[in-house]
Amino acid sequence: MSKDVILDVRNLKVDIPVSAGMLHPVRGISFSVARGETLCIVGESGCGKSLTSLALMGLLPKTATRTADKLDFLGQDIRDLKERQMAALRGVNMAMIFQEPMTSLNPAYTIGNQLIEVYRRHIDPGKAEARERAIFLLEKVGISAAASRLSQYPHQLSGGLRQRVMIAMALMCGPDVIIADEPTTALDVTIQAQILHLLADLQKEFQMGMILITHDLGIVARVADKVQVMYAGSTVEEGPCQAVFDSPLHPYTSGLLRCIPVPGKTQRGSRLGSVPGIVPNLVGDLHGCMFRNRCDHAEAACEALAGDATQLSDGHAFTCRMTPDEAAQAARQTAREVA
């Protein structure tokens, strides 16, 4: 398997000093994304998905610190790049779509202006070419009368249209990887699936790597090549989409997947199942399995869990004290309880 890996991340950590001490919202995340591949990250709110994507982009809040054993982008170590060097990658090689389309566009400028500026900055300073590209992409993202939209202001567009504009903007310079952080959470339910499908189609068409953060499991089942399940800043389970959906191993994953989605069959818009209990505080020294206070299978051993993942043959891995067989059995039990 000769995959063209674009982004390779090992042991990514983010720390933020807060009044109560040091917050560890991202605690050692690893993954890779290849060209044409879609990685979906799922997990409850607050588990560190947004900070993970901001850390990749170099857009963390000023107070946050980022460390990693490896952070390779297009074969280049980007850990120690200067802000100016990161800015040269952002928008061109890596692009991001945010959760809040209503506030992510500058209210003072037309969408044409905002689409064109990124192209003129990175690719070609000429106006005409950038304008053509903008019209081409607005049509690509399904916006009619694209040329006349260029002179509209963000406040004249609906949330769905604005998010389409954001997608077009991310594609202006033909990025190698696109990071979409819950791009539809703020939108009307009726258009969420449309936008997500649009993203998936464009990713295929332009052969980009994509990191998609979403709560829509139906979409994950359809578009993901790989799935990463995050809990409290760590990965609890990861693997090929099929494997994770067919045989979830970590109790948290089977909790999330309680609606038993099947790739290709799960209903659109199916949400993550809810797991009872609350996320632990991530301030200070942390040890053991962070899920143990909410887990039906918790034992004393969970407190001492080192956090090394158990690897299965097909790239499927999970972090739990249970053996794969025990875990599979526990997961089947969860599924049966629900049925």
Ligand X SMILES: Nc1ncnc2c1ncn2[C@@H]1O[C@H](COP(=O)(O)OP(=O)(O)O)[C@@H](O)[C@H]1O
Residues forming contacts to another protein in the complex (CB under 8 A) are: 57, 59, 86-92, 95-96, 98, 100, 103-109, 117-118, 121-122, 153, 155, 166, 169
CB of 17 to another protein, least distance (A): 15
CA 118 to chain centroid: 23
Q: How far is the CB of 201 from ligand X (least distance, A)?
A: 25
Give Cβ neighbours of residue 240 (< 8 Å, ≥ 6 apart).
Answer: 225, 226, 227, 314, 315, 316
**Residue of 147, 150, 83 whose CA lies nearest to 115:** 150
- Residue 51 contact, options Mg ion, ligand X, another protein, none, Cβ 5-8 Å cut-off depending on partner type: ligand X
Note the Cα 110 to chain centre separation in Å.
28
Q: Beta strands of 129-233 (E only): which ranges? A: 177-181, 209-213, 226-231
For residues 48 and 255, which CB has a smaller minimum distance to ligand X in the complex? Answer: 48
179 pairs with which residues across the strands? 96, 211
Q: Residue 99: what residue type?
A: Q
16 binds, among another protein, Mg ion, ligand X, none (CB under 5 to 8 A by kind): ligand X
Chain CA centroid to CA 292, Å: 25
Helix axes 111-122, 159-171, angle to 10 degrees: 10
Which of ligand X, another protein, Mg ion, none binds 46 (CB below 5-8 Å, type-dependent)?
ligand X
- Of 51 and 130, which has the nearer Cβ to ligand X? 51
CA dihedral defined by 241, 35, 55, 124, rounded to 10 degrees? -150
Residue closer to ligand X, measured from CB, 11 or 45? 45
**Binding to Mg ion in span 27-86, by CB under 5 A:** 50
**Least spacing, CB of residue 20 vs another protein, in Å:** 21
Question: Quick check: helix, strand or coil at residue 73?
Answer: strand
Nearest to residue 214, comparing CAs of 190, 183, 235?
Answer: 183
Beta bridge partners of 228: 41, 238
Q: Least Å distance between CB 121 and another protein? A: 6
Rounded to a whole number of angstroms, the minimum distance from the CB of residue 27 to ligand X is 11
Question: Which C-beta is closer to another protein: that of 98 or that of 231?
Answer: 98
Partner that binds at residue 87, options ligand X, another protein, Mg ion, none, CB closer than 5 to 8 Å by kind: another protein
State CA 85 to chain mean position distance: 23
Shortest spacing between CB 7 and ligand X, in angstroms:
18
* Interacting residues with ligand X (CB under 6 A): 16, 18, 23, 25, 43, 45-51, 61
* Nearest distance in Å: CB 36, another protein: 22
- Cβ distance to another protein smaller for residue 67 or 104: 104
Which residues of the chain form contacts with Mg ion (CB under 5 A)? 50
